[in-house]
Amino acid sequence: MRGRVIALVGAILLFLPGAAWGTAAGPSRWRAQSIEEQQWHLAAMGAHRAHEQSRGDGVVVAVVDSGVDDTTPDLAGALLPGTGFGSAAGTDGTADEDGHGTAMATLIAGRAIDGGALGVAPAARILPVSVGSDGGRFTTASVASGITWAVDNGADVINLSLTSEATLTPDLLRAVNYAFDHDVVVVAGTGNAGQRHVGAPANIRGVIAVAGTEQGNAVWASSNTGPETVLAAPAAGIVTAVPVAVSSTGYASVDGTSAATALVSGAAALVRSRYPDLDAGNVVNRLVTTALDLGEPGRDDPTGFGLVDLVAALSAQVAPVDRNPLAPPPRTTPAPPPAGSTDAAEPSDVPRPDAAGGPGPTRGVRVLVLLGGSLLVVLAVVVVAVLLSRRPRAARPEVSALPPPSDEFWRHAP
């Protein structure tokens, strides 16, 4: 199996009946709750008020995961033709033995059929990209292929509820930068080991790296954290749909930054639908500048810029930016002298050329990273083992052993 191993940002699945008991108007009055009513995260994020402004119409969200079950009622009419890579090669992405991809897709675009699960962007379309038919160990090569295929097939947002221990892998880096180059918002989870470490793809500059919270906006204890964290979203006790082959009721409660990632992908879909002329960089900027700051003022390791705020993201006055605020700064190089001139030109900021030698980005929505020859050779032979995580994983090396790349690395060109 080629490529490094990567895992879903796993979740603990607690299978639910079709209804549960909860309080109504007072302690002596009880009634059955619908699945939608059990989704506490919708109120915490202001989803119902946000749907008065946007429901994600016209936006395509690619779910690069274990597949998305096309028989799930709450996703009826939401799925586009998909595909498979790795052990799912040759499939159309609509088989999901694991249930993880279906759960994430429902959190993004669930239709709440007959009281079922409601997604953050219920009018968005899901592009299912399966990167492993068994829901087990994926490779970064298959994930990278899935990202590239999603870009080429119309994705506006790519949801990556998966992670690796790697600080950086060339295949993922190239694929994510390809997405940036084509004006796509990329969202990934920080991980569920409760450690101060954010691995690839969440640590790639420009990606929205999502950590988890609990009810009451406390940091979810098992959420990975680090300086790469961008936003936070609910991650504990998140009710969603799964295939009936996984749970006979078709529903489960999940814990994990997987879920938080999907919720932020739904938020990005709402913004892209509400502001169709915004490029990806300005969509990211709107999400981070309107987030509810939960920790120390400004960006912090546990929650980044804060809890995603759907209503504010859709309605606040936000000044436009000329580049993705998460991306590395453009490289500064000397401008060529005018034709026929013998004088040296003054240095100037110029866009970085892409891998094909074309012009670089002008609106800052693309992060183009070229790896030096010797570094690429070294990284290409490193195999990074990653475990599938449905629960907080065993202790891992301290983050000091896996430092994030420096700005100079990201600017490096051969």
Residue 266 lies in a domain: yes
What per-residue confidence (pLDDT) applies to 103?
97
**351 within a domain of the structure (yes/no):** no
pLDDT at position 26 over 70? no
Better pLDDT: 398 or 4: 4
Mean pLDDT of 81-107: 95
pLDDT for res 104:
98
* Cα angle for residues 319, 323, 328 (degrees, 5° grid): 130
- What pLDDT, on a 0 to 100 scale, did the predictor assign at position 169? 83
Active-site amino acid positions = 65, 100, 258
Instruction: Show the domain range for 254.
Output: 5-18+28-315
Question: pLDDT value at position 125?
Answer: 98
Q: What is the pLDDT of residue 379?
A: 29
Residues 6+ apart with CB under 8 A from 121: 54, 55, 56, 59, 61, 108, 109, 266, 267, 269, 270, 273
What is the predicted pLDDT for the residue at 399?
24
Q: What is the pLDDT of residue 33?
A: 79
Looking at the predicted structure, is the pLDDT value of residue 324 above 60?
Answer: yes
| CATH code of the domain in which 180 resides | 3.40.50.200
Residue 192 has pLDDT above 80, yes or no: yes
Lowest-confidence range among 149-153, 305-309, 363-367? 363-367
Q: Are 30 and 21 in contact (CB under 8 A)?
A: yes
At 166 the pLDDT is 75
Report the domain count for the chain: 1
* Residue 338 DSSP one-character state: P
Task: Assess if residue 37 is contained within a domain.
Answer: yes
- On the question of pLDDT at 387 being above 90, the answer is no
Overall average pLDDT of the 399-414 stretch: 30
Q: What pLDDT does residue 48 have?
A: 97
**Pairwise CA distance, residues 94 & 109, whole Å:** 15
pLDDT one-digit tens code per residue, 29-58: 444 578 999 999 999 999 999 999 999 999
Q: For residue 193, is pLDDT > 50? A: yes
Residue 165 has pLDDT above 90, yes or no: no
Highest mean pLDDT among 90-99, 129-138, 355-364: 90-99
Would you state the pLDDT for residue 225?
A: 96
In the chain, the percentage of residues whose pLDDT exceeds 70 is 71
pLDDT for 191: 95
Separation of CA 68 from chain center? 16
In a domain, 254, yes or no: yes
Question: Is 368 within a domain?
Answer: no
3 state SS of 312: helix
Average pLDDT, the chain: 78
Backbone φ and ψ for 398, nearest 5 degrees, come out as -60, 155
Residue 401 lies in a domain: no
Question: What is the rounded CA–CA span in Å between residue 155 and residue 100?
Answer: 20
Give the confidence band of 5 by pLDDT, cuts at 50, 70, 90.
low
Distance of CA 128 to the CA centre of its chain: 14
Please check whether residue 362 lies inside any domain of the structure.
no
Does the residue 117 lie in any domain? yes
The candidate with the shortest Cα–Cα distance to 154, out of 58, 69, 84, is: 58
231, β-bridge pairs:
210
Which of 138-142, 180-184, 315-319, 387-391 is the least confident region? 387-391
Give the pLDDT confidence of 241-257 residue by residue, as tens digits.
Answer: 999 999 999 999 999 99
Specify the range with the lowest mean pLDDT, choosing from 53-67, 334-348, 396-410: 396-410
Q: Judge whether residue 17 has pLDDT over 50.
A: no
